Amino acid sequence: MGGRISSLVFQPPSKRSHINSTKYIILPTSKGNRIPAFYFDRSAHITVLVSHGNAEDLGMIYDQFFDFSRQLNVNVMAYEYSGYGRATGSPSESNCYADIDAAFKYLVEIKKVVPSRLVLLGRSIGSGPSCYLAERLALSGTPVGGVMLQSPVLSILRVVLPDLRWTWWGDMFPNVDRVKRMECPIFVIHGTRDEIVPFRHGQDLFLATPVQWRARPLWVEGGGHNDLEGRLRQEGTYFSCVLEFLREWCSGEGGGHRGLHGSVY
């Protein structure tokens, strides 16, 4: 899709968050942009690569994912999208893919992370680059250890055309097609009252996932688009649910498909 559509889809924060430059890495992308990223090293078995949501940047999620890394004892890397925060360039689907590729390259070449020990976490629009990378690596014979999709989209057009039955040419982030080829455990989290990305997107992504890769989904009763973590953290269930997925599916201790009907918290 062209720049006009991209300007409607991508919504960088109107005010960039403050960044302490000593805490960030600068990554070059294949599109010629330079994007900041941060990495929390716990010398852990699992590394989580975060693709954040729309209308936020790295400065807004830094403390949250420092806590995530500490609570779960996992390494965490998050990167910025081109045109967001302090990153150069303009937001677009292709730039998002180049951005996550740059982050993945850093993890593999500098941090020596192997794909089987990498878990991708995509929130909202971040589900797009996460599914892209998971599919790309699966098709190359090196699938990631798992994918967590929080408030994900089936595709961008399906947000505004809910009855669309197939992916049109030019649609952005066709996650519903990609989950069929990702060859890794997929954990979907979605609020039943999401006002931006309808709950049906999470449900249909779960159903589109091959049965052997379906981790038990988490449907958050009454949850909206931006309050899921707050609700679950208040109830003390957020980290326990993520930890359950990591232990059962991504640590090498689990296997086979588990309960497939979902949990409501």
**Catalytic residue (choose from 52, 190, 201, 225):** 225
> To which residue do tokens 């730039």 refer?
95
225 is catalytic: yes
* CB proximity list for 112: less than 8 A, separation 6 or greater: none
Q: Where are the alpha helices (DSSP H) in 155-237?
A: 156-160, 175-178, 199-208, 228-235
Per-residue pLDDT at 228: 86
Question: How many residues are given for the chain?
Answer: 265
Per-residue pLDDT at 263: 44
Domain of residue 82: give its range: 3-264
Per-residue pLDDT at 252: 57
Taking CA 1 as the corner, what is the angle to CA 33 and CA 60, rounded to the nearest 5 degrees? 50
**Catalytic residue (choose from 57, 99, 171, 194):** 194
Digit-by-digit pLDDT tens for the chain (265 residues) are 455 556 678 999 987 887 777 789 999 999 999 999 999 999 999 999 999 999 999 999 999 999 999 999 999 999 999 999 999 999 999 999 999 999 999 999 999 999 999 999 999 999 999 999 999 999 999 999 999 999 999 999 998 877 788 888 889 999 999 999 999 999 999 999 999 999 999 999 999 999 999 999 999 999 999 888 888 888 878 999 999 999 999 875 444 434 334 444 3
Q: What does residue 58 show for φ and ψ, rounded to 5 degrees? A: -60, -40
Q: Residue 81: which CATH number?
A: 3.40.50.1820
Tokens matching residue 120 = 């991708």
Contact between 201 and 195 under an 8 Å Cβ cutoff? The reply is no
Note the pTM of the prediction, 2 decimals.
0.92
Per-residue pLDDT at 17: 80
251 is catalytic: no
Work out how many domains the chain is built from and give that number: 1
Per-residue pLDDT at 63: 94
Per-residue pLDDT at 127: 98
257 is catalytic: no
**Catalytic residue (choose from 51, 82, 92, 124):** 124
Per-residue pLDDT at 7: 65
Q: Report CA dihedral (14, 19, 23, 29) to the nearest 10 degrees.
A: 50
